[in-house]
Amino acid sequence: MAHDILIVDDELDIRTQISGILEDCGYMTRQAANSSEALEAMAGRQPALVILDVWLGVSEMDGLETLEIIRRDYPDQQVVMISGHATFDMAVSATKMGAYDFITKPFKTDVLLHNVERALREQYLQEEVRELKKRAGPQSEDIIGTSQVMVHLRRQVDQLSEFEGRVLISGPPGSGKSLVARAIHRGSDRVKRRFITLNCATLETDGGEAVLFGADPVKGRPRAVGIFERSHGGTLVLDEVGSLSPGIQEKIVGILQGNSFRRLGGSKLIDVDVRVIATTRLDLKGEVAAGNFNEELFHRLNVVPVEVPPLHSRLKDMSALTRYLMARIAGDKGQQARGLSPEALSTLEAYNWPGNVSELCNVIERLLLTAPADPSRLIDSHSVALAIGGGSKAARWEAELEVMNQPLREAREAFEKEYLLFHVRRFGGNISRTAEFVGMDRAALHRKLKMLGVGLNDKTQRMDA
């Protein structure tokens, strides 16, 4: 998606020259001859960059006065000033007022393009920093794993990166839905434009419209640019879209119908080009049937559905995922990554992970805090159990006491059940591998599991041959 650049100069030849140079390089341009036309164009849609002449003859305001208004109403707007009669003091004044740079006429083409590219790059980096600060906790920037479900997910991401339609990403909390959304954006033509995430759960009904659509200035209140306008040309993620109030849902339907809206208090229609990706932990189809979610919004968002699997369904990836997260989290904290013993990895594989990858990140952080001082020592299974929360002395004593109060036969059966279930989960539900490890015939293991009441159809204990 090409960047939208507004060129403001009172000389038609200059506007045409700059526009031609930029369009030859793939940018989109709009033109304004004076301050009124410039501010009206920005009210129509905020551009990625403004190139603004200092003097602006036959104009209500000169360039510096226009810059002041732009910086007041659009605080994050990048502006490059140009002038044929520039002085050092004028350049200093412009940069103090918030201009990104100052170019003198006549300018060379490569100088103009260099300044444009730098201004757009800095704006992109500032947006990235803001987004990174919003992200809670360490998250993987890559989709890790070789399990069948992850291979399928990566294939979907690759396909959707070349597709401009809307995507609805569903999955349990902590499974990595936002990560998948970012991966789709990174592979798309919009990668150099903004990637903005809106936490729908924090969008209050009263102020929600202003956040989404912005508001025109009124006495005592400056112009507010809404999140849809800021996302123009880029990707907007509606995170946990099922949390939206019915009123806001209806408003978003209106935007998705025509790719346009009006700011609060405004009459001008704002046209935007935004790729919308929604995420949800809820069964939105069920929410529609229950009357809790707008049916039309569901169909407009659910152009391409993507399902992110829970961690317990891809335990084959545990080793690679743990190594990756260990290296990433340790690096973020300035620590050395630690290795895990085979028994420690087995303990990770045996756990059900209700909090998914987010919970695994927390466990790894705890392991780094409590790891032995000697970095050559591997983290053991006891440390992993403690980090997960199932290895405390009180918990072990309670379990031991329960077993001790049972007759020998029941106690033995309880142990056998937990032992076999541990290894079934460890080997991802593969009965043949489990039987080989525990030293049993495959058919005998099947009989034993059935006798102990371990269900073969439980999704958390899937038994694949």
Percent of the chain with pLDDT over 90: 43
Amino acid type, 257? Q
CATH 1.10.10.60 correct for 394-461? yes
Average pLDDT over residues 222-241: 90
Amino acid type, 81? M
Give the per-residue pLDDT at 132. 62
Name 63's Cβ contacts closer than 8 Å, sequence gap at least 6. 8, 52, 53, 54, 55, 56, 81, 83
CATH number for the domain formed by residue range(s) 135-307: 3.40.50.300
How far apart, in whole angstroms, are the C-alpha atoms of residue 172 and residue 136? 17
The answer to whether domain 4-132 and domain 135-307 are alike in fold is yes
How far apart, in whole angstroms, are the C-alpha atoms of residue 230 and residue 47? 9
Amino acid type, 322? T
Contact 390, 356 (CB under 8 A): no
Alpha-carbon distances, residue 130 vs 112, 124, 210, 420 (angstroms): 27, 10, 20, 48
459: confidence class by pLDDT, cuts 50, 70, 90: very low
Do strands 79-83 and 101-104 pair parallel, antiparallel, or not at all (unpaired)? parallel
Fold of 311-391: Helicase, Ruva Protein; domain 3 (1.10.8)
Residue among 18, 160, 328, 224 at smallest CA distance from 32 = 18
How far apart, in whole angstroms, are the C-alpha atoms of residue 180 and residue 140? 10
Q: Which superfamily is assigned to 4-132 in CATH? A: Response regulator (3.40.50.2300)
Contact 245, 208 (CB under 8 A): yes
What values do phi and psi take at 124, rounded to 5?
-60, -45
Amino acid type, 84? G
CA 392 to chain centre: 35
Average pLDDT over residues 351-367: 91
Average pLDDT over residues 325-336: 88
**Residue pLDDT, tens place only, 369-392:** 888 778 788 998 888 888 887 544
The answer to whether residue 350 scores a pLDDT higher than 90 is: no
Average pLDDT over residues 417-435: 79
Residue with tokens 């829970």: 310
User: Taking the domains of the chain in order of start, what are their residue ranges?
Assistant: 4-132, 135-307, 311-391, 394-461
Whole-model pTM: value is 0.66
**Peptide bond preceding 106: is omega within 30 degrees of 0, i.e. cis?**
yes
